[in-house]
Chain A
């Protein structure tokens, strides 16, 4: 069986492989998740474990990569033509002034193996904070809403509607330690209820919101309590020129800050998730008979 390992003497062949891999990785990079730190104007365009470069329709059969292992190992900054070529062709050079680390993985082709390099931003407190933000922002949930009356049940003019978020995260403090320092990100949620009827304003709710307590005080008193997440609609729906439901929305906004044991700290972009809670509103006519409502 012929040896397939790529030898140093096969420079021309090697460059052909690199050229082929160049195309594949460029293509696959579009589909692979990228790390785009929120406070930076660049992304790390890396393949993810398990991603295989896709065949290039224009490549000869001998040049088609079979795939990569994507076990990335950190190495010293590479010298020579190969990483320079890959750097120009696949990922681009590191942004000026950004400290990076270099990593390598191996890919197999039909006639041997070749190394592929990538760079990643070196760990700094700000980078780690941004990494945490990227991880965290994808996990913050869309609010699940409970209400009185229940969603889908029409409210009554002047009778307060209460809303509450049932998957309230509370304050989160994920942290990560690496490279000799620890970074803690503090994620603080706040809740707003926008009733959606004309002339209404956004209501800043305390905590996860509030529900009507039948055993408690008068409903108006509960709705008027500081931080209550309640609104009494003034306008019924379905009348001429009005929609069947007011487009109410519950919005949770997480304010995110970070601090580091190295002394640095700051804020990161906030994250907002909203859920629609449309509400039909009826008007109840009352008739006064003999001095009493009936």
Chain B
């Protein structure tokens, strides 16, 4: 890392001498250890190290980027020269500019009690083997296919800019994933579950990971064995924090990304329906849903998968209130798009690996808790469903028309959650259809880990998404496939 830091400092001086108006160098050294098991047998494991440098420049209003794992001065000089040449060849009519931000010289790290290297290889494998024993003992033939993954990632990063910012960081993310198939009368149900957070090996115990995975599989097996097809039309729906979290991420987080709104992701992840809204009205004046809807993204939440204190453009992180009491309040901004909106960045620039450019990303996105108790949400529902978890989901590339297929779903009758499980109900709703139908939000909270895909080449960003229980009124269920 020390050699890399020296070269990053060298890159800044060299880039400035070659005529770049902005130059940023980012050195990343990472370690990734992982194991996979199927039905209690380790399929394989490995440890991979990666280290390299990325340099981003602005020259003549164009942007250039180069990266290499070969940490030599000559390689860096050649890369910078070519990146500047290509940036100039862009011949942009409108130059790219960055917002003015405070110079940052600091260090941050995610708190780790037990480093991954302190735990033996056998103990890590045994975690998966023992977890599988728990599942197999509980379910046997009811859960015939179990794939379990453990991923232990850590990195050190050094970012320096020609404006004087220097930020060093150390991050550590642990995650456990299951992809299991449960057998039932009508076939089977499948479930991909991801749990994760920033921290060390202690996370497994502190977050009750084994218990949470067991509980999730109890739901999966119940759904496979007990859920029944039922024709339901207009109905009230209570969704869990897991479902509220994915909706916060997909229906609100993604369309709030300024690079989408202004077209940069047009040929990849698409644009945003916010472009229409922001043509005629301003932030703070646009009603997105009922007053109970507040959606926040907060990178500074320690322990959550999207945790960071400074982004990859050296801007200090803070919570972003995307929707406040039903009104569109804030967008995700990096320095390029903050400049386009003539404001400051809110530190949304993240790059997944040394060889990727920083782009606007979410971090820890959640539906803010409300005033209801869990029980109060159900009190006046005569006929409804309670959707605790989901399987399939997708959304159009303007982030307006979404689909969430329920997995663990119960019928609600006369204010009570019954034991009757409904098989694969579909919420096929627009973003307004969801946010406008919210009339109750509970005080409790739950949250899984996830990976958010965006960018080209794809950058899978670790994120966290959660929320309380949320009540949606008068929902017409969508068409599934029988």
**Does A pair with B?**
no
